Amino acid sequence: MTWNLQTDVVVVGYGAAGVAAALEAVEAGADVVAIDRYSGGGASALSGGIVYAGGGTSVQRGANVEDTVDDMYAYLAEEVGDAVEPDTLRRFCEGSAETIEWLSARGVPFSSTLCPYKTSYPSNRHYLYYSGSEASGKFRAVARPAPRGHRAKGRGTSGKMLFGPLARTAERAGVQLISQTRACDLVVEDGRVRGIVCRTVANAPEHIRRAHRVLGSLSAKPGIYAPQFRYMLERRLAHIEKKYCEVVRIEARRGVVLSAGGFVADRAMMREHAPKYTGGIALGTAGDDGSGIALGTDVGAATAKLGNVSAWRFIVPPSPFLGSLLVDAQGRRMVDESRYGAAIGHAIVNSGGGRGWVLVDADLSRDARKQLPRQSLWFQRVQNAGLRSTAVRGMTIEEVARAAGVDPRGLRETVERHNAAILSGHPDDFGKHDDFRRPIAQGPFTLYDAGIPAGTALGKMMNPCAMITLGGLVVDEGTGAVKDEAGKSIPGLFAAGRTAVGLCSNSYVSGLSLADCIFSGRRAGVTAALGERHAVDADSI
């Protein structure tokens, strides 16, 4: 093999996991080259910038929030299940406070302003909030609830305030980023991954590179919300790459880290592995096409949990909607409505067959209208308007049920059971805490279509159901080394973020994917930098 470039560690995909891996590797003394199909950032830079952290972080202490590692672990053990070993989850929780300090030391800004209400994403006045289902009734029984959503401080969706400072720190530390470059193959010699073969437009004329950057940026966003627009841009990008790409071979003397995201943007993989989840929008860039996973499987890597997808159906803000009832076509409830939006989406897909309706009464509607302006950002107001565009109303439960196509008798029974439990002080059927329960009693009543996708064209466009994939390559949880089908580590190959099975591969709450990107990225980076010594456990990070 003739190499065009030689380095110690190559990072494939430069989002949160990739930049964390690159930083740890370069700080461990390795030369690092990172490649990215676009300009870096990936889905992480487009995200809300939430890092799930707890156990008494400096941000929590600044907000006078009490939290312990044991409470964080007990809650996450319920959410995470068997996605990772208990020791791995414990290590994540015990290192959580240090993770926030690590990020802060590399320029990521946080704030201790605590959100006083439960929401899907806090306004620009608040940067610490309940980002999961910690306060829901089921989980209060196992752990004291605490807000653990640490939002990077910045207006709007602040993923750029997480990725940007890390990327600048990495650049100053000596990480070489080669953008507009796609990894095509891993090079394996004597059973060890030795490097990668890439195709790049980095050496194309400036006007071609500029056009590629602009098209890539538009494909990422607003392309997320306009799939046909994205497909058109991707065809144009493919034409540029076919005409102007050069082949570049990069030797990785110590290791290759795959951190190229998931596969939610690949329609064929979604149909194969997660056919129930083809009705939402792909929350990611076009680079989330499974190519990182394919690089691993091409050299014998094992995969797991590819059928696990997180579908987000948010009904808040406004917070009064936590007191609503989510029902299926038979009028039966499906979930504790105060749960995080991914749990609601999971219930709609798996219990409702993709269909679901949110029932509110006149008192709840009035309170919601009052609180929406102060509790929401612009995109949440758009989502709420999309939900409201699906509304049907009736003066009685039976009338609104018939208008929506929901079984009237079933809905009446559900409402009466719900109201009677509140009146008698009996526990909620789905464990909803009394903080969020309220009777559905005063007409007119409204049913909103919360299906996947929503029932009207306007609802589909304004309130889409965002989805991310959760499964990936199987890795050694101590090192991040990719495993083969026999359970043995593939020498020289590591994976992180949504390219790999990780903390959130069973169940997602806001911030857990980015936290896992940082956790797994750091793990893979430091162990890759150790080269032949990569079997050493990475507890030091």
| 76/340 Cα distance (integer angstroms) | 13
Vertex 390 angle, CA 349 and 325, to 5°: 55
| 151/207 Cα distance (integer angstroms) | 37
Closest to 479 (Cα-Cα) out of 540, 430, 438? 540
Which tokens in the block code for residue 469? 């994939």
Vertex 366 angle, CA 364 and 371, to 5°: 95
pLDDT exceeds cutoff 80 at 457: no
DSSP state of 61: H
pTM, two decimal places: 0.95
On whether the CB atoms of residues 181 and 171 are closer than 8 A, the answer is: no
pLDDT exceeds cutoff 50 at 191: yes
Which tokens in the block code for residue 187? 């090079």
475: three-class secondary structure by DSSP: strand
Which tokens in the block code for residue 240? 């540029």
Map out the domains of the chain with their CATH numbers. Answer: 5-42+176-310+466-530 (3.50.50.60), 50-151 (no CATH), 314-462 (3.90.700.10)
**Tell me: the pLDDT tens digits for 497-534?**
999 999 999 999 999 999 999 999 999 999 999 975 54
Full DSSP string of 207-247: HHHHHHHHHHHHHHTTTTT-HHHHHHHHHHHHHHHHHH-EE
Closest to 133 (Cα-Cα) out of 512, 516, 428? 512
Closest to 344 (Cα-Cα) out of 376, 375, 372, 321? 321
pLDDT the model gives residue 280 = 84
Closest to 47 (Cα-Cα) out of 12, 7, 81, 17? 17
Name 62's Cβ contacts closer than 8 Å, sequence gap at least 6.
Answer: 112
Q: What percent of the chain has pLDDT over 90?
A: 91
Confidence label for 536 from pLDDT (cuts 50, 70 and 90): very low
Report the chain's mean pLDDT, rounded to a whole number: 95
pLDDT exceeds cutoff 90 at 367: yes
**Tell me: the pLDDT tens digits for 494-506?**
999 999 999 999 9
Q: What percent of the chain has pLDDT over 70?
A: 97
pLDDT exceeds cutoff 80 at 180: yes
CA trace torsion 142, 146, 147, 148 (10° rounding)? -70
Sign for the pseudo-dihedral over CA of 518, 521, 522, 523: positive
pLDDT exceeds cutoff 80 at 298: yes
pLDDT the model gives residue 227 = 83
On whether the CB atoms of residues 249 and 4 are closer than 8 A, the answer is: yes
The residue whose two tokens read 């610490």 is 128
**Tell me: the pLDDT tens digits for 384-410?**
999 999 999 999 999 999 999 999 999
Closest to 484 (Cα-Cα) out of 498, 494, 492, 474? 474
pLDDT the model gives residue 453 = 78
pLDDT exceeds cutoff 80 at 190: yes
| 430/333 Cα distance (integer angstroms) | 9
On whether the CB atoms of residues 39 and 213 are closer than 8 A, the answer is: yes
On whether the CB atoms of residues 22 and 11 are closer than 8 A, the answer is: yes
Name 216's Cβ contacts closer than 8 Å, sequence gap at least 6.
Answer: 37, 38, 39, 180, 233, 237, 285, 286
Sign for the pseudo-dihedral over CA of 233, 234, 237, 242: negative
| 516/471 Cα distance (integer angstroms) | 13
**Tell me: the pLDDT tens digits for 236-271?**
999 999 999 999 999 999 999 999 999 999 999 999
pLDDT the model gives residue 279 = 82
pLDDT exceeds cutoff 50 at 540: no
Distances (CA, A) of 306 to 259, 272, 303, 370, 508: 16, 9, 7, 42, 14
On whether the CB atoms of residues 484 and 475 are closer than 8 A, the answer is: no
445: three-class secondary structure by DSSP: strand
Which tokens in the block code for residue 420? 């009677």
**Tell me: the pLDDT tens digits for 273-297?**
999 998 888 999 999 999 999 999 9
60: three-class secondary structure by DSSP: helix
Confidence label for 125 from pLDDT (cuts 50, 70 and 90): very high
Confidence label for 535 from pLDDT (cuts 50, 70 and 90): very low
Q: Interhelix angle for 86-94 vs 96-105, to 10°?
A: 50
The average pLDDT across 440-461 equals 85
